Chains A and B, each alone.
Chain A
Amino acid sequence: MTMQQEREGLVEMSWDPITRIVGSLGIYTKIDWKQKQVVECYSTSSVFRGYSIFMKGKDPRDAHFITSRICGICGDNHATCSVYAQNQAYGVQPPHLGEWIVNLGEAAEYMFDHNIFQENLVGVDYCERMVRETNPGVWEKAKNTPAPGAAQHGYKTIAEIMTSLNPLEGEFYREALQVSRTTREMFCLMEGRHVHPSTLYPGGVGTVATVQLFTDYLSRLMRYVEFMKRVVPMHDDLFDFFYEALPGYEEVGRRRVLLGCWGALNDPDHCDFSYERMSDWGRKMFVTPGIVVDGKLVTNDLVKINLGIRILLGSSYYDDWQGEQVFVHRDPLGNPVDVRHPWNQHTLPKPQKRDFDGAYSWVMSPRWFDGADHLALDTGGGPIARLWSTALSGLVDIGYVRATGHSVIINLPKTLTKPEVSFEWKIPRWSNALERNRARTYFQAYAAAVALHACEKALGEVRAGRTQTWEPFTVPKDVNSVGFTEAVRGVLSHHMVIRDGKIANYHPYPPTPWNGSVRDRYGTPGPYEDAVQNTPIFEENTQENFKGIDIMRAVRSFDPCLPCGVHMYTGDGNVLRKLHTPHAFASGAA
Chain B
Amino acid sequence: MGATQSAGAAVEEKPIHILWINAGLSCDGDSVSLTAATQPSIEEIALGGLPGLPKIAVHWPLIDFECGPEQGADTFIEWFHRADRGELEPFVLIIEGSIPNEAIKEEGYWAAFGNNPATGQPMTTSEWLDRLAPKALAVVATGTCATYGGIHAMEGNPTGAMGVPDYLGWDWRSKADIPIVCVPGCPVQPDNMAETLTYLLYQAAGQAPMIPLDDKLRPQWLFGMTVHEGCDRGGFYEQGQFAKAYGTPECIVKIGCWGPVVKCNVPKRGWINGVGGCPNVGGICIACTMPGFPDKFMPFMDEPPGAHVSANGSGMYGAMIRRLRNITAKTVDKEPKWRHRGPELTTGYRR
Residues of A whose CB lies within 8 Å of any CB of B are 11-24, 46-50, 53-54, 56-59, 61-62, 65-66, 69-73, 75, 98, 116, 120-121, 124, 129-130, 167-168, 174, 177, 180-181, 184-185, 187-189, 192-199, 201, 203-209, 216, 317, 349-354, 467-470, 472, 541, 543-548, 552, 563, 565, 567-568, 570, 574, 578
Is B134 interfacial (CB-CB < 8 Å)?
Answer: no
Report if A208-B282 is in contact (Cβ < 8 Å); known contacts: A50-B159, A193-B276. yes
Chain A residue with minimal CB distance to B301? A61
What separation, in Å, do the CA atoms of A170 and B110 have in the docked complex? 38
Report if A72-B32 is in contact (Cβ < 8 Å); known contacts: A24-B22, A181-B272. yes
Is B198 interfacial (CB-CB < 8 Å)?
Answer: no
Is B154 interfacial (CB-CB < 8 Å)?
Answer: yes
The secondary structure that dominates the A interface is loop
B72–A13 touching, CB < 8 Å: yes
B72–A469 touching, CB < 8 Å: no
Residue of A59, A195, A354, A543 near B299 (CB, 8 A) is A59
25 contacts between A and B (CB under 8 A): A14-B71, A16-B122, A17-B77, A19-B61, A22-B32, A24-B61, A46-B23, A46-B122, A48-B100, A49-B25, A62-B300, A69-B27, A69-B29, A72-B30, A188-B271, A192-B283, A195-B187, A208-B247, A208-B281, A353-B107, A468-B247, A470-B247, A545-B73, A547-B74, A565-B114
What separation, in Å, do the CA atoms of A70 and B28 have in the docked complex? 9
CB distance from B37 to the nearest CB of A (A): 9
Residue of B25, B69, B281, B299 near A207 (CB, 8 A) is B281
What separation, in Å, do the CA atoms of A545 and B275 have in the docked complex? 46
Chain A residue with minimal CB distance to B282? A206
Q: What residues on B are CB-neighbors of A546 within 8 Å?
A: 68-69, 71-73
CB distance from A575 to the nearest CB of B (A): 13
Residue of A49, A59, A98, A130 near B152 (CB, 8 A) is A49
What separation, in Å, do the CA atoms of A177 and B106 have in the docked complex? 44
Is B317 interfacial (CB-CB < 8 Å)?
Answer: no
Q: What residues on B are CB-neighbors of A56 within 8 Å?
A: 156
A184–B272 touching, CB < 8 Å: yes
Residue of A23, A198, A470, A541 near B245 (CB, 8 A) is A470
Q: What residues on B are CB-neighbors of A185 within 8 Å?
A: 272-273, 275-276
CB distance from A541 to the nearest CB of B (A): 7
A547–B73 touching, CB < 8 Å: yes
What separation, in Å, do the CA atoms of A70 and B109 have in the docked complex? 19
Chain A residue with minimal CB distance to B123? A46
Q: What residues on B are CB-neighbors of A198 within 8 Å?
A: 277-278, 281-286
Supply 8 further A-B pairs (C-beta < 8 A) apart from A20-B62, A24-B112, A568-B69: A13-B69, A15-B70, A16-B77, A46-B122, A208-B248, A317-B108, A350-B108, A547-B73
Report if A189-B275 is in contact (Cβ < 8 Å); known contacts: A54-B157, A72-B32, A354-B122. yes
Q: What residues on A are CB-neighbors of B316 within 8 Å?
A: none
What separation, in Å, do the CA atoms of A20 and B60 have in the docked complex? 9
Report if A353-B283 is in contact (Cβ < 8 Å); known contacts: A72-B31, A116-B35, A168-B46. no
Q: What residues on B are CB-neighbors of A216 within 8 Å?
A: 275
Residue of A121, A129, A206 near B252 (CB, 8 A) is A206
B35–A199 touching, CB < 8 Å: no
What separation, in Å, do the CA atoms of A22 and B23 have in the docked complex? 11
Contact with A along B245-264 (1 / 0, CB 8 A): 11111001000000000000
Residue of A47, A124, A205 near B246 (CB, 8 A) is A205
CB distance from B106 to the nearest CB of A (A): 8
Chain A residue with minimal CB distance to B67? A19
Residue of A129, A468, A469 near B65 (CB, 8 A) is A129
Report if A205-B152 is in contact (Cβ < 8 Å); known contacts: A547-B68, A563-B26, A568-B69. no
Q: What residues on A are CB-neighbors of B301 within 8 Å?
A: 59, 61-62, 201
Report if A351-B108 is in contact (Cβ < 8 Å); known contacts: A120-B63, A546-B69. yes
What separation, in Å, do the CA atoms of A120 and B1 have in the docked complex? 11
What separation, in Å, do the CA atoms of A16 and B14 have in the docked complex? 28
B23–A24 touching, CB < 8 Å: yes
What separation, in Å, do the CA atoms of A317 and B152 have in the docked complex? 19
Q: What residues on A are CB-neighbors of B32 within 8 Å?
A: 22, 72-73, 195
Q: What residues on B are CB-neighbors of A180 within 8 Å?
A: 35-36
